[in-house]
Amino acid sequence: MIEAIKSGRVDVVCTGLWRLRPRGKLADFTAPLYYSTVRAYTRADNTKYDGSLNAINDPGTKIAGVDGEMSSDRCEG
């Protein structure tokens, strides 16, 4: 989408898109129409996260994602 705007093939993209820093350098965004959530799931018998979700920052934690899907994009601050 960003490449289509940069090349002049389109003037506007109207779709849900997360505001990530690399995109913000190339495009302007309107005010959000809605907010979407990302949820984390684990096995029912996994007690590692009981009491503190900060345990997700443990270097031994593995997180699965789908290439190209928005929740797998890195949100670097």
pLDDT in tens, 23-71: 888 888 888 888 878 788 888 998 888 878 888 888 988 888 777 676 6
Q: If you ran DSSP here, which 8-state letter would residue 48 be given?
A: T
Look-up of token digits 């684990």? 42
Residues in the chain: 77
Tell if the pTM clears 0.85, that is, is over it.
no
According to the model, what pLDDT value does residue 71 have?
62
9 pLDDT higher than 90: yes
CA distance 42 to 8: 44
According to the model, what pLDDT value does residue 45 have?
93
Q: Do 62 and 46 meet the contact criterion of CB atoms below 8 Å apart?
A: no
Other Cβ atoms within 10 Å of 43 Cβ, number: 7
Look-up of token digits 């009981």? 50
